[in-house]
Every structure is written in structure tokens, then in C-alpha cells.
Amino acid sequence: MACAIVIASVGLNVNSTAVIIGAMLISPLMGPILGAGFALGTFDFPLLKKSIKNLLIATLISLVVSFLYFLLSPFKDAQSELLARISPNIYDVLIAFFGGLVGVIAITRVNKGNPIPGVAIATALMPPLCTAGYGLAIGNISFFAGAIYLYIINCVFICLSTFAIVKYLRYPKVHYVDKLREKRIGQSITLLTIILIAPSLYFAYNLLQEKKFSDRIKQFVRHEFAEKG
């Protein structure tokens, strides 16, 4: 985990997409998230606690290592790879959910393929954590908050997609849960989903407005300057 974080931090620092992809492939973060989804779907609460504990430990290690790296690094400028991970929107939610679907479908199939590396690259769990560490190192709370929000989106929606497939395939329940408690768990999941999606829709709207404004500027420049010589 620590090695993957250093590699991802270097990749973000020098703006190298290839290095960042390599870090995503090394990262073991996907395991605890899929484990939490399976645990929720089968009501295996000991497994859920273990998965959450492992994920929290991995997250803490990642933040500490990336914070120390960017604190010691002489290059503090925010490159495009860093800036791309501080304003998550609804598209990141879709990527996380469908990426998680691919991962859990592959695991539950009899003839297993190996799409997990692709899922790791698509859902990009590692770079947001490094970006959060960068935000802490330079004292930029908005960078930290945006990156952590993206990381939480990825974790939660990969977990939810796993939960959905486990329910669809009717995996046997490990522990008996009465209907009332099962309903409360479902309501909690729905509420968490709404809370996470709402800000992403706002960010997507802002992104759309920025794109429209940028297009109007280009059109103005082309009409007033380029076409008139």
C-alpha cells in the first residue's frame, strides 16, 4: 500500500499518467471494498467490520504517506492530474458504480476473467487519496475535501454495486436479520446514496456552465478576431 501511494504521488507530482496507472494496478484497496459489499449483501457483520477496519487502516496509511511525500517534495505546483481529482461530479459516480459492477460480476462468474486491473484503473481509488495528502501538505482544505469526496464516492458506489449483484444472485444470508432491520439497512443505504449524489449533481452543473462559458469565449474570439483578420 505504502509503495503504491509513493508511486501514485510521484506520478501526480510529475504529471505522469502512466505512473499513476501503475500505482492503481499495485494498490490493494479494491479488496476491502468488495468485501464490505459482499458482507452487506449476505448480512455477514463480522466480515463487514473487518472490511471497514482494513479499508480505514489502508486509507490512513495512504494519507500519511502521501502527506509526507508532498511535504518533502520540492515541487508543490498543482499539475493537471491533481486538479482533475478535486471536483468530482455525477460522471464519477457512474464510473464507480459500473466499474464495481464489472468487478463483482467477474468474481461471481464460474468462468472467471481478470477485469480487476481494468476496474482498478477505471475507478481510480489511489489518486484521490494522494491528492488529499497533497491538499493537507500544502494546507489547501478545498483540495483535500474535493479529493476525499471523490474517494468516498468511489468506495461507496463500488460497495453498492457489489451489494446489488449479491442481492440479485441471492447469496445465502450468513446471519438471520428480521424484516424490520433489513428495511432499516435498505433505508440507510438509500439515504447515503442520495447524500453522496446530491453534491456531485451540483458539481456537474457547474462543469456544464464552465463549458458553455468557455465555448462562448472561443466563439467570440473566432468571430471578432480570427474571421475579421
222 occurs within a structural domain: no
**Widest distance between CA atoms in the chain:** 76
DSSP 8-state symbol, 198: H
| Percent helix / strand / coil, the chain, rounded to 5 | 80, 0, 20
Report CA 221 to chain centroid distance, whole Å.
37
Query: Is-contact 95 163, C-beta < 8 A?
Result: no
Q: Which domain holds residue 47?
A: 2-178
Q: What are phi and psi of 122, to 5 degrees?
A: -65, -45
Residue 117 maps to a domain? yes
Q: What is the pLDDT along the chain (229 residues), one digit of tens a residue?
A: 888 888 988 988 888 888 888 888 888 888 899 899 999 888 888 999 999 999 999 999 999 999 999 999 888 888 888 888 888 888 888 888 888 888 788 777 776 666 666 666 666 788 898 999 999 999 999 999 999 999 999 899 999 999 999 889 888 888 777 788 888 888 888 898 899 898 888 888 988 999 999 999 999 998 888 777 7
Whether 107 maps to a domain, the answer reads yes
Is 193 inside a domain boundary?
no
Q: Is residue 56 part of a domain?
A: yes
In a domain, 196, yes or no: no
In the chain, the number of structural domains is: 1
- Please indicate, yes or no, if residue 214 is contained in any of the structural domains: no
**What's the pTM value of the predicted model, to 2 decimals?**
0.85
Domain-embedded: residue 41: yes
Distance between CA 225 and CA 66 in Å, rounded? 46
